[in-house]
A = this chain, B = another copy of it.
Amino acid sequence: MYTVKEVSKLLDLTEHTVRFYTDKGLVPSVKRDKNNNRLFDEESINWLIGVKYLKQCGMSVEDIKSYVDLCLEGRSTIEERYEIIKKQKAIALEQLEEAKLRAKYMEEKLNHYLDIINGVISDDTNPGEWEPKYANTPHKKETS
């Protein structure tokens, strides 16, 4: 059994956020001890991991709450849940592509700065600021 603090370290969320999520009903299995402290078991942690990922996909707390409620209703809502996860999976894949571009951009920019520092190139390609060329690549929204 884990406390708020332990869980927050485990999942790299702030304690505020963990309390916020539990208060909003996103972690239905969370219990309280005799002093009213939140207590997380493995199941609660699994819920929280799911919540964290759904949130990173850009779902609002409200929508995640609806999804959690669907889960609690059991088997009869499976198709609906399937559609939700299908959509979030598509978003996750878009985010993955965007993350690759972002990492590549930062790397190229860093190399450019290195070249300037090492005097490999002069700075006069810079009317304002040089940028790697990504205008033609897709720029999908990071719905976070």
A residues at B contact (CB < 8 Å): 10-13, 28-29, 42-43, 45-47, 49-50, 52-53, 56-57, 68, 71-72, 74-75, 78-79, 81-82, 85-86, 88-89, 92-93, 95-96, 98-103, 105-107, 109-110, 113-114, 116-117, 123, 126-131, 133-135, 138-142, 144
Could you pull out 15 A-B pairs where Cβ atoms are within 8 angstroms? A10-B139, A49-B131, A50-B131, A53-B101, A56-B98, A56-B142, A57-B102, A72-B128, A74-B126, A78-B116, A86-B110, A88-B106, A95-B99, A95-B102, A96-B99
The docked-state distance in angstroms from the alpha carbon of A95 to that of B57 is 12
Q: Out of B12, B74, B106, B123, which one reaches A85, CB within 8 Å?
A: B106
